[in-house]
Amino acid sequence: MKSSDPEGFRRTACTCDCPDACALRLEALPGGGFRVRGDPDSPFTRGAACAKIRRHLRRLNHPARILAPRLKTARGWRDIGWEEALDRAAEAIQSLRREPAAILHIAGDGAKGVLKEAVNLFFAALGASRTRGSLCDAAGYVAGVLDFGSRENNDIEELARARSIALWGKDLQRSSLHTASLVHRARRAGAEVVSISPQGEENRPFADRRIRIRPGGDRFLAAAVLRRLLDEGALPEERFACTRGGEAFRRVLAGRTTAEWLAACDVPPAEAEALARLYRDGGPVATVIGAGLQRVLHGGEAVRWIEALAVLTGNLGRAGAGVYFHLHSFHNLELGWTRGPDPGRRRAFPIADIGGAILAAADPPVRLLWVNGCNIVNQAPDSERTAAAFSRVGFTIVVDAFPTDTAERADLVLPCTLMFEQEDVVGSFLHEYVQHAAAVIAPPPGVRDDYTIVREIARRLDPPVPLPEPEECLRAALRSPWLETSLEELRARGAVRSRRPAIAYEGLRFAHPDGKCRLPAAIHDEEPAPAGYPLRLLSLVRGGAIHSQMLPEEQEIPPAAWIAPESPGLAGIDPERPVALVSPLGRMPVRLRRLAGLHPEAVVVRRGTWMRLGGGINRLIAARVTDIGGGAAFYAQFVRLEND
């Protein structure tokens, strides 16, 4: 990469909650405004950036953006100055210094970066309560740690060297543009690509074969393939030499026939045979696991059985193979200091049931909420209960740039900078580059970055809470055993690659002390659909926005609900009349649309629309927790359609 920005554009990096973490070029246009594109000099981004980035530019100067602190009064919202806002926030926190567990800090990944993470240090120093688990990928991440002893992937560029690729629940049309590009490259080089998804045809442009599966059935398909391979002698004893738990694992497999495993996932025998042939004969096979398939009650189990399939067929620990799942986005940075000296002593609330946990809290109850980096009321399950929990808290402070469903329930809103307006350092949960996110656009007057906000409050407390300078935070994060760089070098180059090996678990040597992989010892049945609710609700990602980061005019209200033309859920529904999606928690008007190839037991709604506009699919989804990791089991919800 060149050491200086050519005249006319500036280099930076994307800080959105997206695995690709693209290197970007921002160009000032002659008539005003900006144009953004992927940096062609980046060895990973290669000049390509998604539509979400271009849409982000609209957010910067949108009329709905909050440009001054807002205080809720009996008469509604009132803009106040920063000094008053910071004084009020500091006074509220100071009143709880002797009872810090009554403060709950909810932080999300709405924007990535070291300085976003550094906010956590303030609340750790206070001893405030925190959250545990994840709304995104906790079950799958912990599954890898249980199986392998750590969560590592082959370098994502190894996808291009695969002879075969299995896409388990990975929607390449709407997520990770660069994974899609690598799959295209592999396919052009002759790789066979198989897609496994309840949406069936969603990956038609990327896959040679598309297997439609019952929602929540992935672990049963993996077991069916393993049982078939075991029966035909394709899993000899030496394949188990790198594992522990083989005896219990084989007992589970033997407990059902291949046909019975397939009945559980609703996959035809011919499709399972093709998948077995791919894993048996098509190596090296790269296994790409989407986050959606682990957002069910037994999501960790699903990932573990897929990983077992890769291990026992020899498709791990070598070039062109491997299991790909979300890494930790800061796995190449040193951020232990942001958690404080003793994070285990702080009270932790389950993020998957945050509303219920706040309402149930005692000794002490939650008296102050601080929310940054997430629209938690909209994005957590059981949104109405989360909103009710907010109303029970004495004082709520939200740091955000827009009047989201969460900001609307605050007592004090502190407006923050957006991407391109603040310097930061960002990692990726897909690739191995750490990048400099330069501040390339001046923020509007009246907004401040998240870390500056907490530093201003920290110095107002008695005694003050010392927090490091922003630049020292960036330098501390770069003191990682996986990096050999300085902040000066990173600023000059734009990005550096970590020193991690390209092949994870090479030679099937794993990170457990004995070097062996752990095999799952159980498999649980899926819950049957409850009476009156025949459809599994899949609140999937959308192509044009990250979660709820949409402008009001970009939202389709009522939201679309996609259903298979042959679905039994359509029985008795008049499509010419208004339709609502109904769960035991409530109802939401939808626009009914048919989607050929979708599993007939599923209904798909793209998540992120705002509750206050009539959207907010999480109003219908009960707060349930995954088997491991403390993840949110969003896709365990059953619903029905009704005419209004």
Confidence band (pLDDT; 50, 70, 90) for 472?
Answer: very high
Q: Look at residue 504 and tell me if it is in a domain.
A: no
Task: Please tell me the total count of domains within the chain.
Answer: 4
- The C-alpha angle with vertex 482 and arms to 478 and 488, in degrees rounded to 5, equals 30
The predicted pLDDT at position 310 comes to 99
The predicted pLDDT at position 617 comes to 99
Q: What is the pLDDT of residues 492-508, one digit of tens each?
A: 999 999 999 999 999 99
Same domain, 337 and 309: no
| Percent residues over pLDDT 90 in the chain | 94
Same domain, 302 and 407: no
Contacts of 475 by beta carbon, 8 Å cutoff, 6+ apart:
486, 487
Same domain, 362 and 443: yes
Nearest to 405 by CA among 387, 382, 385, 389: 387
What single DSSP character describes residue 134?
Answer: B
Mean of pLDDT over the chain = 96
Separation of alpha carbons 372 and 565, rounded Å: 41
Separation of alpha carbons 9 and 32, rounded Å: 13
Q: What is the pLDDT of residues 217-265, one digit of tens each?
A: 999 999 999 999 999 999 999 999 999 999 999 999 999 999 999 999 9
Residue 88 CB: number of other CB atoms within 10 A? 18
CA–centroid distance for 550 within its chain:
17
Separation of alpha carbons 41 and 1, rounded Å: 6
For residue 485, count CB atoms less than 10 angstroms from its CB and return exposed for 0-12, middle for 13-18, buried for 19 or more: middle
Residue 208 CB: number of other CB atoms within 10 A? 15
Q: Look at residue 479 and tell me if it is in a domain.
A: yes
The predicted pLDDT at position 31 comes to 81
Q: Where a domain ends, among 432, 467, 497? A: 497
Q: Look at residue 258 and tell me if it is in a domain.
A: yes
Confidence band (pLDDT; 50, 70, 90) for 427?
Answer: very high
Q: Is the pLDDT of residue 3 over 50?
A: no
**Tokens standing for residue 328:** 């930790």
Same domain, 247 and 290: yes
3-class secondary-structure state, position 257: coil
Same domain, 209 and 251: yes
Domain membership of residue 117 as a residue range: 70-135+330-497
Same domain, 396 and 461: yes
The predicted pLDDT at position 203 comes to 87
Q: Look at residue 508 and tell me if it is in a domain.
A: no
Nearest to 136 by CA among 339, 369, 327: 327
Q: What is the pLDDT of residues 181-214, one digit of tens each?
A: 999 999 999 999 999 999 988 889 999 999 999 9
Q: Which residue matches tokens 């790269």?
A: 286
The predicted pLDDT at position 202 comes to 82
The predicted pLDDT at position 342 comes to 80
Q: Look at residue 318 and tell me if it is in a domain.
A: yes
Confidence band (pLDDT; 50, 70, 90) for 33?
Answer: confident
Same domain, 143 and 131: no
CATH number of residue 252's parent domain? 3.40.228.10
Q: Where a domain ends, among 295, 325, 355? A: 325
Same domain, 545 and 596: yes
- Cβ(118)–Cβ(338) under 8 Å? yes
Same domain, 82 and 41: no
The predicted pLDDT at position 7 comes to 57
| Percent residues over pLDDT 70 in the chain | 99
Nearest to 615 by CA among 587, 576, 634, 577: 587
Residue 631 CB: number of other CB atoms within 10 A? 30
CATH number of residue 576's parent domain? 2.40.40.20
- 561 bridge partner residues: 592
Same domain, 436 and 584: no
Q: What is the pLDDT of residues 312-340, one digit of tens each?
A: 999 999 999 999 999 999 999 999 999 98
Contacts of 185 by beta carbon, 8 Å cutoff, 6+ apart:
159, 160
Nearest to 153 by CA among 498, 437, 478, 481: 498
Nearest to 193 by CA among 201, 183, 185, 180: 183
Confidence band (pLDDT; 50, 70, 90) for 101?
Answer: very high
Q: Look at residue 247 and tell me if it is in a domain.
A: yes
